[in-house]
Chain A
Amino acid sequence: MPSSALTSFVVASRYMPVYVALLLLLIVAAIWVPETLSGVALSAIAPFGALLGIAALGQMLVVMTGGIDLSTPGTLTLAAMITVGVGDRADGRIWLAIGTAIGVAAIIGLINGILIGGIKLNPLIVTLAVGQVVIGVISRYVRTFPVQSPVPTGLSDWTATRILGVSPIFWIGVAMTLLLIVALRYTTVGRRFQVVGANPVSSQVVGVRVTLNQILVYVVAAMLYAIAGVALAGLIRNPGVNIGSPYLLGPIAAVVIGGASLTGGLASPMSTMVAAFFLTGLNQMMRSLGLPTALQFVVFGLVIIGGMLVSGDRIIKGVERLLRERRRPGHA
């Protein structure tokens, strides 16, 4: 059925730009800075791309409910600091540290969720405020252990290992992406979640537990940030209190470039993850090209604006218009 194929094309077209962008990036890199495409260089950025992607997946889930989460840097940093503090340089405490980090993050998410999903406060302001509180907690918490303390060596050694030539963090990112793809596509939980994002009022009418979904999404998102935070701590061994700051805009940028509908309901874990790699790769290339830091910020910002310009919602409208224009002559 050709019209069915057309439907799939229109529905899928919102996720296209990120793949095009990635392709362009690879072409540009191959021409000007081919050394960034070497195996070594790629496997060096893979874990960073993956952990940006993991945080972006959390942000994506929140955006799918029509919300936004600005507490990402706080949660992510706190998780990293807990890995240091609870880990206490002892390999035996790694799992305890990871568990605590994820558990504390879940509580932060729950607070976000109750304020936003339960009490229906504005997500932008709530998460910004909660993030602020978390940052306050962090600056108190880091005083309980020596400055520049490292994570347990077991953790940092593990991040330095290679599975099939790439850091295990990359594979965790891949696993998270697959997990979300399966959950959203093949489970009832994912289906209900998607429906709540697409239209909370209708979802309420048909009997889906809207509030519960809207609360839990912040919990799940915060746990994903925590995973990213722990991975980041392991990667850079002795994390400082500012390691989270690039993760305010980064995940949002990945979600937008990944083609999610900012009004909720539609997003793709795959293209969000790809977008995270695109952004990480772009960053890396700018550094290899020796662009001044100031200019890097400008380019990064422009790319996000570009991402908004070719965002999923606008593409769908454009495709619709094109189809309509094409039909016009037949009418006259």
Chain B
Amino acid sequence: MDHELVLEMEGISRQFGAVRALTNVSFDCRAGEIHALVGENGSGKSTLLGVASGFVDPDTGIVRIGGKRLTRDSPGQARSLGLAMAYQDGSSINAEPVKNNLYYAAPPNQRPPYWRRKRWARSVLADFDLDLELFPDAPAGYLTMAERQLFEVAKALVTDPKVLLLDEPTTALGPDEVEALHRTALACRDRGVGVVYVSHRLPEVLEVADRVTVLRDGEYQGTFDAKETSEPELVEHIVGRPFDAAFPPPAIAPDEEKPVLVVDGLQGQAFGPVSFTILSGEIVGVAGAEGNGQPQLFDCLAGREAPRAGRVDCAGKELTLISTHEAVGAGVMLLPGNRKQEALMGVLGVRVNSTIQSLRRFSRLAFLRRRSERSAVNRLVEQLEIRTPSLDQPVEFLSGGNQQKVSVARSFLREPSVILAYEPTQGVDVGSRFDIYKALRARSDSGAGLLVKSSDPIELAGFCDRVLVMSRGTIVEEIPGDELDEVRIVEAIVRGPGMSKAARSPLGVAMPKAATAGDG
């Protein structure tokens, strides 16, 4: 091919604390192609993008954008060399209208006169064809999650880049929006822009990409021509091991006589009424597209957000759900999805983080028995294979997987009757995932009931004993264990009333295709 390289990255390595995020990775993108970068969470995709866009300073390696070398870790320099990035978690000023956000994103010499910015924004957005041109006056904070994500792309495009980085652009998107995004990405390609498309949804990737590069655990696994490769082949490179070995065996027979959590007509800010029961020894999954009340349900059960109506019994006792202190005391433990902010005390050590919920066990008359604490944590570090240089290592320096193991370790010391795990393997490297499944399964085997929210249908199908499908805040379907597989879960999600658009056009949408990824 005679296309010039618009992005070249050679021999990039980067280490965070004890974690090797990238090891000698090379990557390039030509003008007029869509080059997909795939890999699981924690495989180094985001770090690589961070290096390319100048946010992360690599330990070794060089980056060239449009043939010119990026000389320091400067997002400004990367931008001026012609690189634009659509961020995963949004970079808009929420209080400012869409038109202003777009105006600020444009390079000064391409901005229209200030008083013309509304008309300009409308025409620019119409050109991008992302269905965003309708409300240029709306504050960016009023956009839906999906619109926000598309708007990120629009803000990147307005700089007229040579190379466009899309970081998981479809996470919050419904099928129609994915289509719009892909239309835009293809239009960019045809104009000669190099598009780097980061995603973990293979069907989408194969739909638009020209080449696909796979990362696993921060290491380069190969680059493949999208026309010649297949999902199963890519999955093999991504995971590095067959799928069926990835989950511990399911529960033998949950104890029908022993419900640990009985939820009856529970209703909160963004969900309900919901009713369900979790038995002792059972792992119940919660599926559903994002934004259908799952986080609110979890927060409510954990006592973080008071319910409006309904009743919850834990191991026979009614919960008032007004404080986390009460919920924890009654035996309900939440493992939040946002570990850094909501589960761990980053500056404190592994030991302190592990035992915070079981201090009574390690104290006599309010005095800590540090030796028994230390030996208990030591045992758990070995049992859960937590990789840490010492028990006092601040947990912020551990990898995502090891951080999650630390928060799971709490449940081994406290032995709660209900564990609410929100996205337990998000941001967790492949190797640690199985350890975490194993650890959580060990809890259920010793009598706890688990409620697991996951956006990954493969995980739900492989790890759970049955799955509740949530849509618009209610449980629309329960999939029993013998019917459990990825396709079934995804079908249920897509069929739910929350995704009516998708239900109208089941072909060509992202969700049902994503399911087939699991068959590989």
Contacts and interface: CB of A to CB of B under 8 A. Distances in A.
A209 B325 contact: yes
A261 to B, nearest CB: 7
Contact of A205 (B60, B334, B368, B394): B334
B374 to A, nearest CB: 12
A4 B348 contact: no
A316 B205 CA distance: 41
B367 interface: yes
B29 interface: no
A7 B370 CA distance: 18
B295 interface: no
B356 A206 contact: yes
A163 interface: no
A266 B394 CA distance: 11
B304 A327 contact: no
Interface in A199-214: 199, 201-209
A3 interface: yes
Contacts of B367: 186-188
B356 A195 contact: yes
Which of B17, B344, B348, B349 has the most chain A CB atoms inside 10 A of its CB? B348
Contacts of B342: 201-202, 205
B192 interface: no
Contacts of A265: 345, 347-348
Contacts of B356: 191-192, 195, 203, 206, 208
A331 interface: yes
A205 B366 contact: no
A199 B370 contact: no
Interface string B309-350: 000000000000000110111000010100001111111110
A24 B370 CA distance: 36
Contacts of B123: none
Contact of B359 (A192, A320, A328): A192
Interface in B14-60: 15, 17, 24, 59-60
A293 interface: no
Interface string B389-401: 1101110000000
A198 B325 contact: no
A3 B13 contact: no
Interface string A300-332: 000000000000000000001000100110011
A187 B362 CA distance: 10
Contacts of A187: 363, 366-368
A199 B59 contact: no
A323 to B, nearest CB: 9
A324 B359 contact: no
Interface in A134-190: 185-189
Contacts of A204: 304, 324
Which of B60, B370, B390 has the most chain A CB atoms inside 10 A of its CB? B390
Contact of B302 (A6, A8, A205): A205
A7 B60 contact: no
A265 B363 CA distance: 21
B343 A202 contact: yes
Contacts of B336: 202, 205
Given A194-B352, A204-B304, A327-B15, A7 B393 contact: yes
A38 B392 CA distance: 41
B325 A208 contact: yes
Interface string B410-425: 1000000000000000
B360 interface: yes
B304 A186 contact: no
B345 A205 contact: no
A247 to B, nearest CB: 28
A317 to B, nearest CB: 12
B88 interface: no
A96 to B, nearest CB: 30
Contact of B345 (A199, A207, A327): A199
A6 B389 contact: yes
A331 B60 contact: yes
A119 interface: no
Contact of A198 (B15, B324, B327, B348): B348
B277 interface: no
Given A4-B389, A7-B390, A187-B366, A328 B59 contact: yes
Interface in B51-85: 59-60
A199 B341 contact: yes
A203 B336 CA distance: 12
17 contacts: A1-B389, A3-B390, A7-B393, A187-B363, A187-B366, A188-B366, A189-B366, A191-B359, A192-B356, A199-B344, A201-B342, A202-B341, A206-B328, A324-B15, A327-B15, A331-B15, A331-B24
Interface of A: 1, 3-4, 6-8, 11, 185-189, 191-192, 194-195, 198-199, 201-209, 261, 265-266, 320, 324, 327-328, 331-332
Given A11-B394, A207-B327, A331-B59, 12 more contacts: A1-B390, A7-B389, A11-B392, A185-B368, A186-B370, A198-B348, A201-B341, A203-B345, A205-B324, A205-B334, A205-B342, A324-B59
